[in-house]
Chains A and B, each alone.
Chain A
Amino acid sequence: MAFVQLENLSKRYGDIDAVVATNLAVEKGEFVSLLGPSGCGKTTTLQMIAGFVDVSSGRIVLDGRDITHAKPASRGLGVVFQSYALFPHMTVRDNVAFGLRMRKVPGGELQQRVDRVLKLVRLDRHAERYPRELSGGQRQRVALARALVIEPPVLLLDEPLSNLDANLREEMQFEIRRIQREVGITTLMVTHDQSEALSISDRVVVMQAGRITQIDTPYTLYEHPRTTFISGFVGKANLLPGERDSAGVVQACQPGQGELTLSLRPEKIDLCAVGAGRLQGTIASRFFLGSQWLYGVSTSLGALCVVRRNDGSAPMTEGTAVGLDWDPALLRVLSVDEVPA
């Protein structure tokens, strides 16, 4: 049995199904992200695991123990909140020591454990500060230290990085991953940011309208999105009509002809000389992303999005006619969404 197991977990608020019969198994030491648009039930799921929201039906099993109806205090899980939820009237040290004091850990050991975890999150020099004297990233580290110091079996992160600016967010992604690896703690993170989920998780769970629609490693999720919604939510995707040829190979076809919906990632399309390739088009727009150029190309299949590496050569200008080519093996067949996005 997995370390954390959700069995048919459901939550209803009146007539609204927030989470519907969710099954999930998380292995010990694994980093799993719950990814989805707002209102998809990912936070509710996390709050049910933490014990802040009552479970309507189903079970939560932690390391063989049924904790479905246990009080939050007795679950012993580490929780990091979106707002950090630090205690503003306590110093960093007291914030971190809070959980240990609740566990009546003796003074000497308590100081040792607090010092150790503060060093882990690189805040040992700010131990006597108050939260309001810290930057957003530092507060985030305090919240992490406070959750980790009690050595919880599972760490729950609720949108931990959404209040940070872009640069800091990236830095903290690596930081969270480093700490998670170092401690080896089983971690569940809720996020609406697909790049965050892809970059630091072992597995990503995509949720839509209270249901899990795909569980995969980040690479598989990106390369083989199951539905139209997922292909567009996780990364950028060009949706093409498609059909199977006589040999059974999937091919893109003219609009209105194929019975399939195909996904083709923008970086998988090659731009070549006019007349060459599988499709002809004109550059309609371009955006400079630093390391890449993002082109909007209008074709007979509709507007396609193409990403080219910025290799130092001059980019194509708007209005240029180009040919487009791709490896048909990279076309992915999508199933139609079974739940409304």
Chain B
Amino acid sequence: MKLLDGMRRGRQGYLMSAPALALYLGLLVIPLGLTLVLSFNVFDYGSGIDSHAYTLDHYISLLGDSYFYEIFLRTFWISALTTLLCVLIGVPEAYVLSRMGAPWRSIFLILILTPLLISVVVRAFGWSLLLGADGLVNQTLQAFGGSPMKLLYTPFAVVIALVHVMLPFMIIPVWTSLQKLDPAAEQAAMSLGASQFTVIRKVVLPQIMPGVLSGTLIVFGLAASSFAIPGLLGGRRLKMVATLIYDQYLSELNWPMGAAIAIALLLLNLLIMLSWNRMIEGRYKKSLG
């Protein structure tokens, strides 16, 4: 009877989660499966995709061409730099935020979140207006007698815009873990002779590492697969993997190649994030539980 009850309850559980499951299946698992299949299909510029013939050609050319290596490498260093900058800016910002008084804290938290309400495309155009050849930055430079600089369509433009867009995703998890800290622990450290700096380094930072870890994972993952910002601010020359995939699909019309690159990006991204997670979590798991 107990077993039957359990089964019935189990089935009820599945039933309850069916809508979410359907969404997950229909919008993630099936398209991903189709992409995976597509990446093995034969493609010919004359006759197009042959959905009945399979080949490893796309993966072989991906592994054999230094052009692809360059773009993957660029994508990952830009994402890593973005993540690093987000940590350097976001962690202190979250700490300051957590130290603010009653009305200001909510006001600034909302201020940090408002950019999320504006489309990434709009924000990217905003940056291109600022950084363009006769944009505000260059106009200011010239007004002070400097010579105009090439800012737009450089890694600099992509990184600065990515940091701007990704910052909330770093601040929110860090802020959440800061909320869990006992403020008395900081007072205790001070009473034991620690300076403010030592308190942050030895007491606060180690405790918020789980939050920083989640932040880096989110930011890196989003940055490595970002499309609009490298597309609009990197231009045609400075390609990142997502824009490369776009080109394969829409300019070259080589869908299987695009699919193969997408799968490669997914796997590499997973590999990097999982090893990073393991490395950091391994260090802090024992102490933070």
Instruction: For the complex formed, measure the closest distance between the CB of B169 and the CB atoms of chain A, giving whole angstroms.
Output: 24
List the one stretch of A2-10, A70-78, A200-208, A286-294 in contact with chain B.
A70-78
Given A89-B207, A130-B289, A150-B192, A72 and B184 contact (CB-CB distance below 8 Å): no
In the complex, chain B residues 118-176 whose Cβ is within 8 Å of any chain A Cβ: none
Partner of A50, one of B191, B198, B286: B191
Contact between B191 and A88, CB atoms less than 8 A apart: no
Contact between A73 and B288, CB atoms less than 8 A apart: no
Q: A81 contacts the other chain (Cβ, under 8 Å)?
A: yes
Given A79-B188, A87-B203, A73 and B287 contact (CB-CB distance below 8 Å): no
Q: B193 contacts the other chain (Cβ, under 8 Å)?
A: yes
Given A102-B198, A130-B289, A132-B289, A85 and B187 contact (CB-CB distance below 8 Å): yes
When distances are taken between beta carbons in the complex, the residues of chain B under 8 Å from A147 are 191
Contact between A83 and B182, CB atoms less than 8 A apart: yes
When distances are taken between beta carbons in the complex, the residues of chain B under 8 Å from A198 are none
- CB-CB nearest in chain B for A103: B193
- CB-CB nearest in chain B for A156: B191
Q: B195 contacts the other chain (Cβ, under 8 Å)?
A: yes
Contact between B191 and A90, CB atoms less than 8 A apart: no
Given A102-B198, A130-B287, A132-B289, A86 and B193 contact (CB-CB distance below 8 Å): no
Given A88-B287, A90-B287, A132-B289, A81 and B193 contact (CB-CB distance below 8 Å): no
In the complex, chain A residues 7-56 whose Cβ is within 8 Å of any chain B Cβ: 50-52
Cα separation A81 to B203 with both chains bound (whole Å): 16
Cα separation A150 to B191 with both chains bound (whole Å): 10
Cα separation A147 to B187 with both chains bound (whole Å): 12
Main secondary structure of the interface of B (DSSP, over half): helix
- CB-CB nearest in chain B for A86: B185
When distances are taken between beta carbons in the complex, the residues of chain A under 8 Å from B185 are 85-88
Contact between A102 and B188, CB atoms less than 8 A apart: no
Cα separation A75 to B191 with both chains bound (whole Å): 7
Partner of A72, one of B182, B187, B198: B187
In the complex, chain A residues 120-137 whose Cβ is within 8 Å of any chain B Cβ: 130, 132
Q: How many residues of A contact B (CB 8 A)?
A: 32
Q: B109 contacts the other chain (Cβ, under 8 Å)?
A: no
Q: A211 contacts the other chain (Cβ, under 8 Å)?
A: no
- CB-CB nearest in chain A for B284: A89
In the complex, chain B residues 244-287 whose Cβ is within 8 Å of any chain A Cβ: 284, 286-287
Q: A99 contacts the other chain (Cβ, under 8 Å)?
A: yes
Cα separation A51 to B202 with both chains bound (whole Å): 21
Task: Scan A53-72; emit 1 where CB is below 8 A from any B CB, else 0.
Answer: 00000000000000000011
Main secondary structure of the interface of A (DSSP, over half): loop
Q: A146 contacts the other chain (Cβ, under 8 Å)?
A: yes
Cα separation A167 to B256 with both chains bound (whole Å): 72
Q: B31 contacts the other chain (Cβ, under 8 Å)?
A: no
Contact between B188 and A85, CB atoms less than 8 A apart: yes
Cα separation A17 to B280 with both chains bound (whole Å): 48
- CB-CB nearest in chain A for B289: A132
Contact between B193 and A85, CB atoms less than 8 A apart: no
Instruction: For the complex formed, measure the closest distance between the CB of A98 and the CB atoms of chain B, giving whole angstroms.
Output: 5
Given A76-B193, A130-B289, A132-B289, A81 and B188 contact (CB-CB distance below 8 Å): yes
Contact between A52 and B187, CB atoms less than 8 A apart: yes
In the complex, chain B residues 175-202 whose Cβ is within 8 Å of any chain A Cβ: 182, 184-185, 187-195, 198, 202
Cα separation A89 to B207 with both chains bound (whole Å): 6
Contact between B193 and A102, CB atoms less than 8 A apart: yes
Contact between B189 and A98, CB atoms less than 8 A apart: yes
When distances are taken between beta carbons in the complex, the residues of chain A under 8 Å from B288 are 88-89
When distances are taken between beta carbons in the complex, the residues of chain B under 8 Å from A71 are 190
* Best-buried of A50, A77, A89 by chain B (most CB within 10 Å): A89
- CB-CB nearest in chain A for B206: A89
Contact between A146 and B188, CB atoms less than 8 A apart: yes
In the complex, chain A residues 80-125 whose Cβ is within 8 Å of any chain B Cβ: 81-83, 85-91, 98-99, 102-103
Cα separation A283 to B187 with both chains bound (whole Å): 53
Contact between A72 and B287, CB atoms less than 8 A apart: no
When distances are taken between beta carbons in the complex, the residues of chain A under 8 Å from B194 are 73, 98, 102
When distances are taken between beta carbons in the complex, the residues of chain B under 8 Å from A83 are 182, 184
Instruction: For the complex formed, measure the closest distance between the CB of B212 and the CB atoms of chain A, giving whole angstroms.
Output: 13
Cα separation A98 to B206 with both chains bound (whole Å): 14
When distances are taken between beta carbons in the complex, the residues of chain A under 8 Å from B203 are 87
In the complex, chain B residues 207-229 whose Cβ is within 8 Å of any chain A Cβ: 207
Given A81-B184, A83-B184, A89 and B287 contact (CB-CB distance below 8 Å): yes
Instruction: For the complex formed, measure the closest distance between the CB of A283 and the CB atoms of chain B, giving whole angstroms.
Output: 48
Cα separation A81 to B182 with both chains bound (whole Å): 11
Cα separation A52 to B195 with both chains bound (whole Å): 13
Partner of A88, one of B184, B193, B207: B207
Task: Scan B62-106; emit 1 where CB is below 8 A from any A CB, else 0.
Answer: 000000000000000000000000000000000000000000000
Cα separation A132 to B288 with both chains bound (whole Å): 9
Query: 22 A-B residue contacts at CB 8 Å?
Result: A51-B191, A52-B190, A52-B191, A72-B190, A73-B191, A73-B194, A82-B184, A85-B182, A86-B185, A87-B185, A87-B188, A87-B189, A87-B203, A88-B185, A88-B207, A88-B287, A89-B206, A89-B287, A98-B202, A102-B192, A103-B193, A143-B188
Q: Give A residues with C-beta under 8 Å from B.
A: 50-52, 71-79, 81-83, 85-91, 98-99, 102-103, 130, 132, 143, 146-147, 150
